[in-house]
Amino acid sequence: MPEIVDRDTARKLFSHYRREREGIRNDPAMGSICLICGSIHIVPKAGEPRQLLCRDCGFAFFRYECGSCGATVDGRDPLNPGCDGCGLRLCSCGACGCTTGRK
């Protein structure tokens, strides 16, 4: 479950990461903030263990722990691009969790 933050903190983080997305994966609070609408109403997406869902605007995003190194992977961070083989995100360590291909 994402870390819960207050509205003032969420507003500041939203403003910062809307301008510069790199590093979102390293900020635990960003697991509870929608980067589209700024909402703090984020819940796990049903049937998708690696995705979170904004209850206000419906935006779904990948955010999970890398199975190889344990780092946070966040699909909104440019350093976690999508894997061409499976669609999961590549961790900064280079792992994606699949065996079908690498980006």
Q: pLDDT tens digits, residue range 28-83?
A: 999 999 999 999 999 999 999 999 999 999 999 999 999 899 999 999 999 999 98
pTM assigned to the model: 0.86
Cα gap 6→60, rounded to integer Å: 21
How many structural domains comprise the chain?
Answer: 1
Place of tokens 């510069």: 20
CB atoms within 10 A of CB 87: 12
Residue 99 lies in a domain: no
In a domain, 94, yes or no: no
Range of the domain at 32: 7-62
Q: Is residue 91 part of a domain?
A: no
Residue 25 inside a domain? The answer is: yes
Domain-embedded: residue 17: yes
2 domain-assigned: no
pLDDT at site 87: 82
Mean pLDDT of the chain: 90
Task: Evaluate whether residue 92 is within a structural domain.
Answer: no
Cα 95 from Cα 83, distance rounded (Å): 9
Look at residue 82 and tell me if it is in a domain: no
